[in-house]
Structure 1
Amino acid sequence: MGQMKTVGKKAWGYRYVILVAVWLLYVINYFDRTSVLIFLPMIRDDLGLTPAEAGFGASIFFFAYAFAQISGGWLADRIGPKKVMGIAIVVFSGVTFLTGLVRSYTQFIWIRLFLGLGEGHHFAPAHKTIANWFPKKEKGTATSFFSTAWAFGPAIIPMIITALAAAFGSWRPVFYVLAVPGLLGMFILWYFVSNKPEEMLKKGRMTQEEFDYIQDGLVSDKTVEGQKGGMSIVVRDKNFWIYSLVLFCNLAIYWGSTTWISSFLYDQHHFSIKTMGAMVSLPYVVAIIAMLLGGRLTDKVFKNKTKPVLLISYIFSIPVLFYVGMVPTGNVPIIITMLVLLGFFVNLSFGAVYAYPQIRYSKDIVGSAVGLSNGFGQLGSFVSPLIAGFLVVKTASGYSYTGAFIFFAALSVLASIGTLFLKEDKFVLNKQSQSVNNSGTNI
């Protein structure tokens, strides 16, 4: 058995093919949503929107996205994550194409709503796939690698799409081009991805040793195996709601800053669109390193404990977010430094925060746990850009985003407090219900 575990752990197994495939699919997902935010100043001017209207247009995506998380997790537990991701790719690719045709504020709102519904059915199934394919000891690393999709995407997307916009002379044709990667995503999903390791074992694409290694390390619980009421189970856990609050703040900080960073650089610091594209990429290049480091710290240094990494991320983010909006216009070295620090500390948490439900909950209900918690968490992504839009102040020289970044710093304070109360031991149903005895648990 010891030799089997060694082989499974060290070999380049098919689980890594699954991870890379799911990662690529999510990068494609991010091309669509990030492009709207990068072009938000231009869309705002083209459609004649106020900053508050533009903020609402950006935020409404996350309103639909939040509710789609819940149904996405529910469907992933019932019909399998692969089918749900396939539907999601078809929908968000089609809506991306239609984005280039938007001519009014009302159309912009509807496009953002449907994009949120499409992309919202992608996230929980992706995590369900990772939960099915990776043992507990590797979940922090696997989840942190997957999380780099939403750093890698924003790191390269601004430079690519701003170059395309410059070549086309408009932002609109860019969205026609961005619908094409969805076709590639459909092929990757169809050929490389399966719901569970058993399917690839039968096809001969993975070894018996790797299969046994994965099965031996999965988070399971006999008290919930085969049960259909995943959501009704996880909501009994008080820590689930604490975690959901922390995730709410985490996503509010990330998407609040991501939504407004391009406008902040364009309006407050008066960078050209080309320079702005390069500057916006900077924090996300750093974020890739931070996310990978956060996952390794969770697995290797803190031994599957997420709280230390979360606290480091949130506490150090407070002064960074507080000051970044106060950097004087024209002080390029300081703004670059603050963007680097923002990219590192805000994103250090992602591997840990999304590893938490995979470590705490059984693989049988993790889809529901991720979907419901991320549905609640994505409400933070909805309200944060919206509130920040009202905190943007018009000045004689343009706009000031100081109040918006102070708001993001306050969210980091709340996330730190919530993390202190978070428990990390595996959730066992028999501790919450008198009808289940202790003999029903198996890790």
Structure 2
Amino acid sequence: MNAVVKKVWGYRHIVLVVLWLLYIINYFDRMAVLTFLPFIQKDLDLTPVELGQLASVFFFAYSLAQVTAGFLADKIGPKKVMNIAIIVFTAVTALTGVVKTFGQFLALRIGLGLGEGHHFAPACRTINNWFPMAERGRSVSFFATSWAVAPAIVPVLVTSLSFYFFGGEWRPVFYVLAIPGLIGIFALWYFIANTPKEMLDRGRLDKAEYAYITSEQTEQGEAVATDKEAKKKDIGIFLKDGYFYVYTLLLFCQLAVYWGTTTWLTTFLVKQHGLDLKQMGFFASVPYIVAFFAMMLGGWLMDKVMHRMKPVAIIAYLGCIPVLWMLGAVEKGQTGMLLTALLLVGFFINLNFGTVYAYVQKRYPQEVVGSATGLSNGIGQMGSFVSPLVAGYLVKVGTDGSQDFSNVFIFFAIAAAVAALCAIILKENTVKETNEVAADEKQAVI
């Protein structure tokens, strides 16, 4: 029976699609700011350093929120935490349209980071609760495509809204973006439950699918989410695991590359390559169009071919090094080369983006996945904070006001090299008990 349920569409897939849509809404808000960054810079008369500070402060707040989000998801349930997150970032997005000063913008960026930062770990915990181990690589990879799809469509959408409906103004766009947030609040309330057991009790999940979702957990000796004893599982399982910190450094570097590139891409296209509003919207979307397919390929390779995250990660990071370097070296006017570099960057940066988050779910017991995801992503997101900030100081401003980003992309390439080294070191054995961690590390040495 399990084999049959595995092949058909089930309620777990509805949960996954809704989580995916909710995270696209999350990305709409942050990507809209990054898309209009060069024009916000002009309106508020900001320097590249101030622009980097505005980008980075979001990720500082976002990083802190990741840690609390993970623990809250384990304690009060992921649905409640996601609901608070969506309400907060929807309100902050609407207020972004009225910002007048650097200080006001700074405060809103912190608010947006705190709101959006409480969304990711609970979403991962929900996927963990709803999908058996054999499907987590693909389910997390599909979820991760939300941060490929959103960046692919947001630049085109918001620049089109600005150009065709608001006369090139960026402020009214943020008022419009509050509408998807309100829709998301309703979708979360109606479609999502913390565990399959809740939907089984409501009659919206059939017993066969429930048995398929939970049977593998039982076979592996993992307790279901409703088991009171399971909730007391010691977080030392991952805190005492040395490879958890290697993984966290890898995540730090990957997020530094991804968000460093994403943050500065529109400004790079406008300032170094002289693209106008409409051209920039198209070129800024290019890396994320291919990113969707890269993420799905990475998940398929992990689940069906390699059965591990590590080989996918090594391919991704080693590929990032030359293409990031190449992107920063493309000269103005070489649109063909620019387009090629953007496509390659989008592919290699995102190949491992879904599978990297499946690592925690495969290595640690279900009961601590929220905490492990929150802590690792919280520390890892500091890469998102550091990277745009450092990049702001690496931009070379000419006497004529021109800007050169070649050093910025060299910096991103170095971060990718560190991530590759971490991937080589990383081990993926499953850790079930605290006292097994030491044995696992001993076996790795032997």
Deviations along 1:351-374, one digit per CA (max 9) or x if unpaired, are 210110011111110000100000
Change (3 A) 1:217 1:432: closer
Aligned position for 2:26: 29
> In the aligned structure 1, how far is the partner of 2:355 from the partner of 2:234?
22
Change (3 A) 1:220 1:112: farther
Please report how far the alpha carbon of residue 228 of structure 1 lies from its aligned counterpart in structure 2 after TM superposition.
4.2
Please report how far the alpha carbon of residue 389 of structure 1 lies from its aligned counterpart in structure 2 after TM superposition.
0.8
Where in structure 2 are the equivalents of 1:108-127 lying within 5 Å?
108-127=105-124
Aligned residues: 430
> In the aligned structure 2, how far is the partner of 1:183 from the partner of 1:96?
12
Please report how far the alpha carbon of residue 430 of structure 1 lies from its aligned counterpart in structure 2 after TM superposition.
4.2
The one-letter code matched in structure 2 to 1:237 is D
Alignment of 1:306 with 2:309, yes or no, is yes
Are the counterparts in 1 of residues 70 and 371 from structure 2 also a CA contact under 8 Å?
Answer: yes
Change (3 A) 1:239 1:221: farther
SS of aligned partner of 1:426: coil
Are the counterparts in 1 of residues 266 and 284 from structure 2 also a CA contact under 8 Å?
Answer: yes
The one-letter code matched in structure 2 to 1:288 is F
Please report how far the alpha carbon of residue 164 of structure 1 lies from its aligned counterpart in structure 2 after TM superposition.
1.2
Aligned position for 1:238: 242
Are the counterparts in 2 of residues 7 and 210 from structure 1 also a CA contact under 8 Å?
Answer: no
> In the aligned structure 2, how far is the partner of 1:431 from the partner of 1:232?
9
Q: Which sits farther off after the overlay, 162-171 or 348-357?
A: 162-171
Please report how far the alpha carbon of residue 417 of structure 1 lies from its aligned counterpart in structure 2 after TM superposition.
0.4
Please report how far the alpha carbon of residue 119 of structure 1 lies from its aligned counterpart in structure 2 after TM superposition.
0.4
Deviations along 1:82-125, one digit per CA (max 9) or x if unpaired, are 00000000000000011111100001110000100000000000
Q: TM-score, normalised by structure 1?
A: 0.95
For the aligned residues, what is the CA RMSD?
Answer: 1.5
Are the counterparts in 1 of residues 240 and 437 from structure 2 also a CA contact under 8 Å?
Answer: no
Alignment of 1:168 with 2:166, yes or no, is yes
> In the aligned structure 1, how far is the partner of 2:187 from the partner of 2:364?
28
Aligned position for 2:188: 189
Are the counterparts in 2 of residues 236 and 432 from structure 1 also a CA contact under 8 Å?
Answer: no
Counterpart pick for 2:288 among 264, 272, 284: 284
Q: Which sits farther off after the overlay, 27-36 or 205-214?
A: 205-214
> In the aligned structure 2, how far is the partner of 1:31 from the partner of 1:433?
40
Where in structure 2 are the equivalents of 1:34-433 lying within 5 Å?
34-166=31-163, 167-169=165-167, 170-218=169-217, 221=222, 226-228=230-232, 231-303=235-307, 305-395=308-398, 396=400, 398-432=402-436
> In the aligned structure 1, how far is the partner of 2:362 from the partner of 2:228?
15
Q: TM-score, normalised by structure 2?
A: 0.94
> In the aligned structure 2, how far is the partner of 1:148 from the partner of 1:220?
31
Aligned residues with identical type, % of pairs: 53
Deviations along 1:65-92, one digit per CA (max 9) or x if unpaired, are 0000010000000110000000000000
> In the aligned structure 2, how far is the partner of 1:133 from the partner of 1:225?
20
> In the aligned structure 1, how far is the partner of 2:242 from the partner of 2:233?
17
Runs (5+) with no aligned partner, structure 1: 435-443
SS of aligned partner of 1:271: coil
The one-letter code matched in structure 2 to 1:94 is A
The one-letter code matched in structure 2 to 1:393 is K
> In the aligned structure 2, how far is the partner of 1:231 from the partner of 1:165?
48
Please report how far the alpha carbon of residue 226 of structure 1 lies from its aligned counterpart in structure 2 after TM superposition.
2.5
Deviations along 1:336-355, one digit per CA (max 9) or x if unpaired, are 00000000000001121011
> In the aligned structure 2, how far is the partner of 1:224 from the partner of 1:421?
36
Are the counterparts in 1 of residues 27 and 147 from structure 2 also a CA contact under 8 Å?
Answer: yes
Deviations along 1:367-401, one digit per CA (max 9) or x if unpaired, are 00100000001000000000011101112461100
Deviations along 1:37-69, one digit per CA (max 9) or x if unpaired, are 011101111111100100110110000000000
> In the aligned structure 2, how far is the partner of 1:230 from the partner of 1:390?
42
